[in-house]
Each structure stands twice: as C-alpha cells, then as structure tokens.
Structure 1
Amino acid sequence: MNLPKNINIIAKNVLQNEAQAILKLIDYLDESFVGCVEAILALKGRVVVTGIGKSANIAAKIVATLNSTGTPALFMHAADAIHGDLGMIQNEDFVICISKSGNTPEIKVLVPLLKRKGAKLAALVSNVDSYLAQNSDFVLNATIDREACPNNLAPTTSTTAHLALGDALAVCLLECRNFSSRDFASLHPGGSLGKKLYLKVEDLYHLHGAPAVSETANLKEIIIEISSKRLGATAVLQENTNELSGIITDGDLRRMLTKFDLNEIPQITAKDIMTASPLTVDTDTYAAEALAIMQQKNITQLIVTKSGKFEGFVHLHDLLKEGLV
C-alpha cells in the first residue's frame, strides 16, 4: 500500500470541513430550536433519542450528555423501535429523531407510529425538506454542504454537526435549569472528575495525625513531633489553646542552622523559627482547590482550620491517593 505524502493536509482538510460546518449551524438556530428547548423544559415525561446507523451512535452519546446534565433521557434504536421497543414511548415523552437524510425507510415507518403515540417529535436532520422534518413538531437544522469523506458518502461532517447541535441543546437545558457544579457532581460521583467536584478537605485531613506544638516547645519536641506524624511539618499553637500561631517545616529546621550559632540552639523555641501567619484552608474547602494552592505556592502541605481553629493538615500525598493529580 502506497501511503500519500500529504497525510497532514488530508487531516487538516477534514478538520476545516467539520469546523466550518459547525460554525454554519449558528445561522440555523431559530424559533424551532428555542421551542424544542422550551418543550423539553416543560416536559413531564422523558426525552427519547433515536436514530439508525451512525445516527444511532450519535443518539446514544446525546442521551449520555442529557442524563449527565440533568435531563432524563433514553436511547431507542430506530430499527428496534419498529420491532417492539416502541413500547418504551409514553404520550408525555419527547422524541428526538436523528437522521442525515430524514428519508430512510426505517424513519418513514417509525414517524407515523410515534405520532400515534402522542409524543412530541423533534427532527435533528441535515435535510429540512425531508419526510422526517416535514412531519415533526420541531426541526433542529444541521444542514451541511458536504461530508469530509472525499466521496461525500461516509457520515463524517454530518455526524459531527448532529453531535454539536445535541451538545448545544443539552447546555441550553442545563443553563435554563441552573444546573450547578454540585448537581453535576451528584451525578458523577466516580473517578477523578467526581472527586474534584465533591471531595473536600474535611474528607482527608483526619486520615493522619495532626502535628502541633506550643510556641514554647524546644527543638527536641519540635523534631519528635514532625518525625512522628510524618508530614514534614508541624503547626505552632498559642500556649494552652488551639489558636494557630505559625508553621514549622523541615525546611525551617534546615534554615535555622544558618541563622543561629550552635551555642544558641538549646535555647531555641518554636516561636523563634516558625513561619507566622501560614497559608491555611478551611475544612469546607474543596480538595481540588487545596491542590491548586499547593501547586501555585510549590508546597506539599496546608494547615486545615475550622472557624479559625487548628484542625490538622492536608498533604499532597492525600490528593495523590485520591487521583486528583
């Protein structure tokens, strides 16, 4: 097989073709699109998305996007629909039928059956003069000039356009519902994405000890506390209180040796070598935000406080274990 020498040019042409097609969709947004969004927002039933061939693949992805952004949706393969799956459609549902031509035999069989069910029907098509478009309540216009395929046959640009318009629909619904990041997190509890949206410092800091010494602690006490808790640092608290005064890290101990003479070391207290007013995070802070602070300041731990009182530490290793890095 002889490979063409202009592979990058071919790829560039494909991407340009599809990018231009998506940009043209902006001009096709009309009252029918708005009406479709409004109808779904008022819906008592579910959104059912259907298609055949490559359109079925796009339908399945749009269903996943709708479900993950607060719009209950089901996927129904158009071929399976006319062989029994049509039973999932209720009269309070809303059906989105995806088809490039809008004239495939399966679609022509399916549309009258859907109409008989009493469900509202939206056509996501690249041919607004098609049978599907003419027999739908709403038309989502995804017209393209041609496919990226050199033979203008393989669904490429058309499926990209359908997918993009589906995303636009989902995001419109999301914003109209004021669907927040917390709502999103409740539907995505697994994996690093979910953890970034719901995991908080309060879920992590109690997993290890909370190293702390008083302002008057001597050098031996400081070293023992840092070494025993194995976090590379200790908080410094006001005498007999939980009020934070500062922090001492391994680095502070090393820098101490350059600041004090050897004969002064036995008299050193925590207050002499601590860093006052250290960076802190509240227990209610999201773990991802704590990570961002560590990365920005190039540090490996943060003191955790609650209502201004010392609670413990959150360490970079805690975030690594949770897969946030």
Structure 2
Amino acid sequence: MVKALNFKRHRRLRSSSAMRSLVSENHLRMDDFIYPLFIVEGENIKNEVSSMPGVFQISLDFVKDEMEELRSLGIKAVMMFGVPNEKDEQGTGAFIETGIVQEATRRIKKEVPEMLVVADTCLCEYTSHGHCGVIHNQDVDNDESLKLLAKTAVSQAEAGADIIAPSNMMDGFVIVIRQALDEAGYTNIPIMSYAVKYSSAFYGPFRDAADSTPQFGDRKSYQMDPANRLEALREAESDVEEGADFLIVKPALSYLDIVRDVKNTVNTPVVAYNVSGEYAMVKAAAKNGWVDERELVLEKMTAMKRAGADLIISYFAKDVAKWLNE
C-alpha cells in the first residue's frame, strides 16, 4: 500500500447519502419557488401548451382547483400572466378593472387568500402589435409606455396582487411604478423588478403560452444584449436605487454568472427565472429517454441556488414539489 501523507481526504465527506446531506451547502425548499400561471378568458378552458408539456392555459373557472393543487404541493406563490381575447395598440386589457389578471387575482384571494400573487406587469400580452409598450414610428416610446405601466401596476394592486413584477425593460419603470403605487396608497406593495432581462432565444415557448410574439421587429432595443455582463450590474443598481425590492435575472441557466454578479452587488433578494425554453428542452429530452429528468432538474435548480438565487420562478415547481416530497 502506498503511504500518502501529503494530500487531503475530501472523500470523507462524500462517503454516504447521510454524510453528503449533512455537509450540503445549498438546499431546495418549496418556499423558494414561484409557479407561473397563464389565465385565459372564457369558460371550461384548460389547454396544454404544445411546446411546454404539463403547462396549461386555464380559464377562471379552473383557478380554484389549480390553487388547491398548488397548496397541496406546498407551493405558496404564483406569477400571473393574462391572455385576453381582445387586444389593441395601447394594451388596454392590462390595466382595466375587468382585466383577466385582475379577475384571476380577485378569485385567488377569495378562494385561497394565503396564496401569494405576483402580477407580471407588462403590455405585450395585451397589445395588438405584441411589443411591451406604446409604438410611435415603429419604435417603443419609453416614456409614454411608462404611463400605462403605472396604471397597470395600480390596477393589479387594487385587485389584490401582493407583489408587482414589471417585466417591460423600459428605462425608469421601477421609479414610475413605485411613485404610482405610493400615490394610490399601496406603499407596502413590493416591486419584483425584471431588472436584468436579456433578449433571449429561450423565450420562444412562453410566447406560445402567452400569445405575445411581436408582430414586427424584435425586442432588442429594450431587452439586453446576451454578450453584456457589466450592463446587468448597471441595470440592477439603478433598479435598487429606484425602489425595487427584488431583482429578477432572466433567463437563469445560461446566465448563472450574472445571477452571481448581481447577488454580489446588491443586498436585495435575487430571483432566477427558469424560462420556458429551458423547461421545454428538458421535457423534450426526457420524453425521448435521453436524460433523467428528475436528476437533471434538481441539479439545475441547485445550480441556481448555488449561483446566488434566493428565489426561483419555474414551470418545474410542481415537479420539484413532488420529488422533494417523495
């Protein structure tokens, strides 16, 4: 036997499942997860999104059953996306009192009041052109869009939303929404800003679910260039200065370096958005038997926590809950 005295025995702490659990540095809890929901107008609608197996568009009459399922799994927060029947150039459905997200929020708060409702605050699902703001001369008018986004945030708060989550990437959206909420008396409603949102190819399946594909051009003039790292820190720092209470990094998996950078830069909770394309790829590979879905997903989620995410928005939340409860 070779006598070796000059190397470390790191394997001592990997010798059994109990030992590995004892020294694990990061843990997944259902308190960490937010589950996205797509609410459509109409009745008796539960449409599976073709590019996102296991994810559904549901009508209001299915909301109670959905909340009961989530509660039974230990999921305590949902992020709401609305899919209206009618759209216009201003995205009116986003901020009217009878908007689909507003109606769904009221129903959730009536049926399962303890469920935390995070309202996605954007116009893209509601505009006929599919962009996140008002269009002037084939471009998104930043400041005019802010006015409508502020109205949307206040309307969502009035309906009972617990957290406002603006995802539009307009300059100044946090401070304008913060001021509007405060003036309307909602000083205690926090803002979960999509502070760092890249112009990503990973969003494709979401646009199927939310019917929000731009009718012309793209969103590269307001969403971030995937090549940029320091820009993310500028975006994060300015949103904190403007009053953001949480910061979202989106997408998550290909931007874990950004999650860590943001975590090291700010003192607010950091949220990783495990987006639709990341979900769809795993589901497709698992369906073909190419990967172990459970092990792969739990590894991904742990990587997001290790990178610095305090919370994770994920379409896998239901699956993770079932696996963690086994």
- Scaled to the shorter chain, the TM-score interval is under 0.3
Tell me: higher relative CO, structure 1 or 2? Use CA pairs within 8 A at least 6 residues apart.
Answer: 2
TM-score, length-normalised on structure 2? 0.27
Answer 1 or 2: which has greater helix percent: 1
TM-score, length-normalised on structure 1? 0.27
Point out the structure with max Rg over C-alpha: 1
